[in-house]
Amino acid sequence: VDLLTAAPGDMPAQVQAIIDNGGRVFVAGLGVPRDVVNLCHDNNVLVASMCGKVRHAVAAVAAGCDLVIAQGTEAGGHTGTVATMALVPQIVDVVENKVPVVAAGGLFDGRGLAAALSLGAEGVWMGTRFIATPEAWGTPGYKEKLLSMAEDDTVVSKGFTGKTCRVARNDYTQYWEEHASEIEPFPAQFIRSINDGANHLGAGPNTEVDPSREFWPAGQGVGAINELVPAGDLVRSIVAEAEAVIDRMSTLR
Amino acid sequence: VDLLTAAPGDMPAQVQAIIDNGGRVFVAGLGVPRDVVNLCHDNNVLVASMCGKVRHAVAAVAAGCDLVIAQGTEAGGHTGTVATMALVPQIVDVVENKVPVVAAGGLFDGRGLAAALSLGAEGVWMGTRFIATPEAWGTPGYKEKLLSMAEDDTVVSKGFTGKTCRVARNDYTQYWEEHASEIEPFPAQFIRSINDGANHLGAGPNTEVDPSREFWPAGQGVGAINELVPAGDLVRSIVAEAEAVIDRMSTLR
């Protein structure tokens, strides 16, 4: 469930809808109001917060979040400037085991899972890799685009939402790179990109989109994603690969 | 030895000087001409190449480099856009064990060393962490600046050299952020920053510098660097911590 389009004042009502429909975890991408945390906890729903800086994690723990997701700049979608390798251990250090830290950004296989655990994370969050599955919902061409992209085919653009968002580079991101001073703040730019026909976020396979302009979030791990893999197989292969990495590492001792 | 100021045509002569003075490894940051590779190999000097993209690594191996250093955007100094967590495994995959891959960018402790090994690297390159040692050469205030910085106090600027370079954010980087269209290409901008009194790269502790404008490269791991540690102690503690991480990981099996 993506609450990006929820106006701030609507958030408790939207979260109540998630609770009413059986949600178990609420993940906030743009900060967590205290009343939302309380609402979730009163209903046995865990609250997680995507954190792009060390001080975001400090604030998330102080606000009562149950999980901190340390998301590096290489992640697809809304993202910050600090990269996963540097961010995760620095967030682990300030969180001090008060809550589990989950690593996100640039992770796509078992090597990344093992690396994240090495940095002190308790788990990983993979986004782009799971969009490239038969099960994932998305507009036509999105998955094929992911399979074709190299590691340097993403760009951080404010063109689609008004906030820094890592997406597939295309004519629309290029336009806004050349007209940066005209970008409006969120949510006005979000509405602008919808009106421009370049943003069908949340829409499915029966939507008509222009691949040269569409809003397709993607992380920098995308260059390693070369086939659609069923999500269950993906989870099993990632875990098996991480186990093999750990076994290989043990032989270094 | 930093050959940044060497004009391209001078490189063989400069490399010959390194060879004549007992250098064992030549690390190229901005590409390696074939004749330089041959000159090094004829003199039993290894050649390594800093690679910020997958195709740089392909080219480095094709050019005969002995080591590929996969350097993520979070690294201090000249750097690209792809982050370490995403870059290292993708470079490991294309290098296919033809030469060892070394991970660089955002690494500052044993957790990072273990993470890099998990990703398939054979070793790590740490820059900023070793500037914060008593042994390191640098202008007055540089080390103290590193100790004071948070993970988000760096910025990628072309202001000091004309090429994208991650440094401590200050008044000089801010000036060029606001006058980006006036930045000249390398090496003209490099000379400009010297003439502006903001660039004393390579100078030592008896140099007078303005801390609010000086060229101080720093990676995003800087937020975790809180004390000067003698280099030998640092190496030993990093290895010991990596071994402890590997032992902890083994218990997950």
* Predicted-complex ipTM score: 0.96
> Edge-to-edge strand order for the sheet containing B123-125?
B25-28, B46-51, B67-71, B101-104, B123-125
What SS3 string covers B39-58?
HHHHCCCEEEEEECCHHHHH
Q: State the pLDDT at residue B29.
A: 83
- A 10 A CB-CB count for B85 gives 39
Architecture of domain B11-126: Alpha-Beta Barrel (3.20)
Average pLDDT taken over every residue of chain B: 95
Residues of chain B with pLDDT > 70, as a percent, come to 96
pLDDT along chain A (253 residues), means of 10: 61 88 90 86 95 96 96 97 98 98 98 98 98 98 98 98 97 97 96 98 96 98 98 98 97 91
Gap between the Cα atoms of B229 and B132, Å rounded: 7
Contact A87, B220 (CB under 8 A): yes
Q: Which segments of B2-89 are extended strands (E)?
A: 25-28, 46-51, 67-71, 77-78
Query: Which tokens sit at A33?
Result: 């109001």
| Residue indicated by tokens 């008004």 | A162
Query: B246 touching A, CB under 8 A?
Result: yes
DSSP β-ladder status, A165-168 and A154-157: antiparallel
Q: Where along chain B do its domains lie?
A: 11-126, 142-224
- Interchain CB distance below 8 Å, B73 and A85: no
**Interior/surface letters B135-163, b for 16+ CB within 10 angstroms, e for the rest:** eeebbbbbbebbeebebbbbbbbbbbbbb
Query: B115 touching A, CB under 8 A?
Result: yes
- Interchain CB distance below 8 Å, B90 and A117: no
Query: A58 touching B, CB under 8 A?
Result: no
Q: State the pLDDT at residue A239.
A: 98
3-class SS shares of chain B: helix, strand, coil, % to 5? 40, 15, 45
| Residue indicated by tokens 């000379």 | B191
Which residues in chain A are contacts of B81 at CB distance < 8 A?
Answer: 152
Alpha carbon B141 to its chain centroid, in Å, reads 20
B74-to-A22, B28, B32, B69, B158 alpha-carbon distances in Å: 40, 19, 23, 14, 15
In this complex, how many residue pairs, one in chain A and one in chain B, have their CB atoms less than 8 Å apart? 164
Q: Residue B32 — pLDDT band, cuts 50, 70, 90?
A: confident
- A 10 A CB-CB count for B46 gives 15
Over the stretch B119-155, which tens digit does the pLDDT of each residue have? 999 999 999 999 999 999 999 999 999 999 999 999 9
Judged against a pLDDT cut of 60, whether residue B206 lies above it is answered with yes
- Interchain CB distance below 8 Å, B72 and A53: no
CATH topology of domain A12-126: TIM Barrel (3.20.20)
- Considering only alpha carbons, which residue of chain A is nearest residue B156? A81
Judged against a pLDDT cut of 90, whether residue B7 lies above it is answered with no
Contact A117, B187 (CB under 8 A): no
Gap between the Cα atoms of A246 and B250, Å rounded: 6
Which residues in chain B are contacts of A252 at CB distance < 8 A?
Answer: 117, 246
Which residues in chain B are contacts of A86 at CB distance < 8 A?
Answer: 74, 84, 105-106, 108, 151, 219-221, 223-224
- Interchain CB distance below 8 Å, A115 and B90: no
Q: Residue B237 — pLDDT band, cuts 50, 70, 90?
A: very high
